[in-house]
Structure 1
Amino acid sequence: MTTAALPLWRDLVLKRLTDRDARERDAFVTLIAAHNLAVQNVASLQNDLHALSLAAKNGQGSPGSAEHGNHGELAGQVANLETQIKELKDERADLYKTQGQNAQKMLELMEAMQKADGSVSALEEANRAVTTNLNTVSARLRDVQELIKEKDHVIQILKDELATHQLELVQREEQLSEKEKRVKSLEAENGTLIERWIVLKQEQAARMNEANEYVEIALKSKAASPRQLSSADMKFDAFPAALPTVTNHIPAKLVRRMQAHDSEINCVQINGDGSIVATGSNDRKVLLFDVKTGALKSTLSGATQAIMSLTFDNSGELVMGTSNDNSVKLWNVATARLKHTLTGHIGKVFAAKFTDSGRVISGSHDRTIKIWDLNRGFCTSTIFTLSSCNDLCLLNGDGTTIASGHLDHNVRIWDSRSGSLIRELSGIHYGQVTSVAIHPTENVLLTTSRDNTLKLIDLNTYQVLKTISNDAFRPGMNWSRSCFSPDGRHIASGSQDGAVFIWHSDGRIEKVLKEHRSAVCGVAWNSKAFVSAEKDRAVIWWGP
Structure 2
Amino acid sequence: MDVWKQCIAESLKKRNDIQSKPFVKLLNDYNKIRCDTENYNFANELRFREMRVLDKSFVDFEIKSELEAKIQEAECKLMEIYKTQTEIAQKYMECKDDCIKLRVTNESIKKEHTRYKEAFESISDDLEALIEFEKKLNISKNMLSSEKLQLEEKTNSLIAEKEILIRSNSELRERLIVMTEDLMDKENEINSLSQILNTKKNFLDDYEIIEPEQDDDLYKSLPLMVSSPPRKCLTSIQGHEVEGESLIYNSNGSCLISSGNEKHLKVWDSLSLYERPMIKGFTHAIISMRTSFTDEFLFAGCSNTYAYLWSLRNGRVKHTLTGHAGKITGVGFLSGNHEGITASEDKTVRCWELEKGYCIQTLGTPSIIYALEIMSSERCFLTGHKDGHVRMYSNKSKKPVDEVSRQNSPIASLCISPCGNLTAIGTRENIITVVDMRMLDILHSITHKFYQCPSLRNIISFSKDSRYLIAGSFSGDIIIWDTLHGTVNNVLKGTHKKPVVAVQWSPYENNVASLDTSGLISVWT
**Aligning the two structures, in what range does the TM-score lie when normalised by the shorter sequence?**
0.5 to 0.7
AA aligned to 2:330 is: A
Structure-2 residue corresponding to 1:377 = 357
The one of 504, 507, 515 aligned to 1:524: 504
Q: Tell me which residue corresponds to 2:342.
A: 362
> Is 1:457 matched with 2:435?
yes
Match of 2:414 among 413, 436, 442: 436
SS class of match (1:387) = coil
Distance 1:363 1:275 in 2: 27
Give me the identity figure in percent: 26
Give the drift of 1:460.
3.0
Distance in 2 separating the partners of 1:242 and 1:410 = 27
- Corresponding residue number in structure 2 for 1:217: none
Counterpart of 2:23? none
Whether the aligned pair in 1 keeps the contact of 2:222 and 2:419 (CA below 8 Å) is no
Measure, in 2, the Cα distance between the counterparts of 1:478 and 1:247: 32
Contact 1:267 1:310 in 2 (8 A): yes
Q: Distance in 2 between matches of 1:396 and 1:247?
A: 20
Which residue of structure 2 aligns with residue 482 of structure 1? 460
Contact 2:460 2:472 in 1 (8 A): yes
Distance 1:366 1:279 in 2: 25
Give the C-alpha shift of residue 316 in structure 1: 1.0
**Map 1:376-525 → 2, pairs under 5 A:** 376-398=356-378, 400-425=379-404, 428-505=406-483, 506-514=485-493, 515-525=495-505
1:348 and 2:330 equivalent?
Answer: no
Shift of 1:438: 1.4
| Equivalent in the alignment of 1:290 | 269
Query: Does structure 2 retain, via aligned residues, the 8 Å contact 1:303–1:325?
Result: no
Query: C-alpha displacement at 1:461, in angstroms?
Result: 2.7
- Partners in 2 of 1:453 and 1:373 — Cα distance? 37
Q: Is the 8 A contact 2:235 2:524 kept in 1?
A: yes
What displacement does 1:305 show?
Answer: 1.3
Instruction: Tell me by how many angstroms 1:293 deviates.
Output: 2.3
Match of 1:29 in 2: none
Q: What amino acid is aligned across from residue 517 of structure 1 in structure 2? A: K
1:266–1:308 contact (8 Å) kept in structure 2: yes
Q: How does 1:100-499 map to 2 (within 5 A)?
A: 243-357=222-336, 358-398=338-378, 400-425=379-404, 428-499=406-477
Q: Residue type of the partner of 2:269? A: D
1:314 Cα deviation after fit? 0.3
- Superposed CA deviations along residues 520-541 of structure 1, whole A, max 9, x for unmatched, are 1111112223100000010001
Q: Deviations along 1:385-413, whole A, 9 cap, x unmatched? A: 11111111112333x21111011111111
Contact 1:429 1:451 in 2 (8 A): no
Taking the aligned partners of 1:283 and 1:332, their CA distance within structure 2 comes to 22
The alignment yields a C-alpha RMSD, in angstroms, of: 1.6
Displacement after TM superposition at 1:242 (Å): 9.0
Give, in angstroms, the shift of residue 368 of structure 1: 0.4
Query: Residue 255 of structure 1 aligns to which amino acid in structure 2?
Result: L
Q: Which amino acid aligns with 2:455?
A: M
Counterpart of 2:373 in 1: which secondary structure? strand
Offset at 1:244?
4.0
Preserved CA contact (<8 Å) 1:365 1:388: yes
Give the structure 1 partner of residue 58 of structure 2: none
Check the 8 A contact 1:268/1:280 in 2, yes or no. yes
**Structure 2 CA distance for aligned equivalents of residues 452 and 534 of structure 1:** 17
Quote the Cα distance in structure 2 between the aligned partners of 1:417 and 1:516: 43
Q: TM-score, normalised by structure 2?
A: 0.56
Alpha-carbon distance in structure 2 between the residues aligned to 1:389 and 1:333? 28
Say whether the 8 Å CA contact 1:322–1:349 is kept in structure 2.
yes
Instruction: Give the one of 508, 516, 519 matched to 1:534.
Output: 516
Structure 1 459/348 Cα, relative in aligned 2: closer, same or farther at 3 Å? same
Which residue of the partner structure matches residue 101 of structure 1? Answer: none
Q: Is the 8 A contact 2:375 2:420 kept in 1?
A: no
> Do 2:235 and 2:272's aligned partners in 1 also have CA atoms closer than 8 Å?
no
**1:469-524 deviation line (CA, Å, top 9, x unaligned):** 11221111111111110000000000101011000002111111112110011111
CA contact (8 A) 2:455 2:501 kept: yes
- Whether the 8 Å contact between 2:241 and 2:518 is mirrored in structure 1 is no
| AA in 2 matched with 1:494 | G
State how far apart, in whole Å, the 1-side matches of 2:314 and 2:272 are. 20
The whole-number CA distance in structure 1 between the counterparts of 2:307 and 2:221 is 39
* In structure 1, distance between residues paired with 2:318 and 2:265: 14
Question: Which whole-Å CA distance do the structure 2 matches of 1:487 and 1:273 have between them?
Answer: 16
> 1:284, 1:303 within 8 Å by CA — same for their partners in 2?
yes
User: Alpha-carbon deviation of 1:435?
Assistant: 1.3
**C-alpha distance in 2, partners of 1:315/1:460?**
28
How far apart, CA to CA, are the structure 2 residues paired with 1:497 and 1:437?
21
Amino acid at match of 1:540: S
The AA in structure 2 aligned to 1:256 is T
Runs of 4 or more, structure 1, over 6 Å off, are none
Q: Does the CA-based 8 Å contact 2:271-2:523 persist in structure 1?
A: no
Q: 2:367 and 2:356 mapped to 1: Cα distance?
A: 28
The residue type paired with residue 454 of structure 2 is G
Do the aligned partners of residues 519 and 440 (structure 1) sit closer, same or farther apart at CA in structure 2, a change above 3 Å counting? same
Cα distance in structure 1, aligned partners of 2:271 and 2:328: 31
CA offset at residue 425 of structure 1? 4.5
1: distance between equivalents of 2:294 and 2:372?
A: 21
For 1:532, give the aligned amino acid: S
Report Cα offsets for 1:142-175 as digits up to 9, x if no partner: xxxxxxxxxxxxxxxxxxxxxxxxxxxxxxxxxx
Write the distance in 1 (CA, Å) between the matches of 2:221 and 2:363.
39
Q: What is the Cα deviation at residue 442 of structure 1? A: 4.1
Is 2:302–2:327's contact at 8 Å kept on the other side of the alignment?
A: yes
Q: Secondary structure at the match of 2:459?
A: coil
SS in 1 for 2:401: strand
Using the TM superposition, name which of 293-302 and 454-463 deviates more.
Answer: 454-463
C-alpha distance in 2 between matches for 1:397 and 1:266: 28
SS at match of 1:420: coil
Instruction: Report the Cα offset of residue 243 of structure 1.
Output: 4.4
1:406–1:432 CA contact under 8 A, matched in 2 = yes
Deviation (angstroms), 1:379: 0.8
Distance 2:343 2:221 in 1: 36
Offset at 1:445? Answer: 1.5
Q: Is the 8 A contact 2:353 2:359 kept in 1?
A: yes
The match for 1:229 is: none
Q: How many residues are matched?
A: 301
